[in-house]
Amino acid sequence: MAFSLFGIIAVVLEFLRPLLPLIIALLAADIVITGWLWASKRRSWQRGRHAALWLGGLVAALAFFLAPWLTSASFSDFSGVLDWGSVLAGSITAGLLAALLSWPLTTLAFGKRSGA
């Protein structure tokens, strides 16, 4: 079976289409919060980073175990390095994306105020 880049993008977009309004709203809110935090310089990004990394790790672990279920498969269906590598790479990507997108929110929630 031959795969093309546009075919893979089309399948991913078809899978994410019901969630697209939510994803766009989350990205817009994330950009606004990030701009506000950079402009105010009153919060410590350090404490927010730790919480975001924990959240990203949790999302990566959940994605690893839920990815076969999303495709109506099971771990017994995996037959080689390509299958395991795909699930592992996808779950790491989901975890990194969750950590990056949650960093401004966790900074807002957990970051110490560094002044008036």
Mean per-residue pLDDT for 70-98?
Answer: 87
pLDDT at position 36: 87
If you average pLDDT over residues 4-30, what whole number do you get?
88
Kindly tell me the burial class for residue 48, based on how many C-beta atoms sit within 10 Å of its own C-beta (0-12, 13-18, 19 or more).
Answer: buried
Contacts of 68 (CB under 8 A, 6+ apart): 74, 75, 77, 78, 87
HEC sequence for 71-87:
CCCCHHHCCCHHHHHHH
When the pLDDT of each residue in the chain is averaged and rounded to a whole number, the result is 86
Cβ neighbours around 17 below 10 Å, total: 9
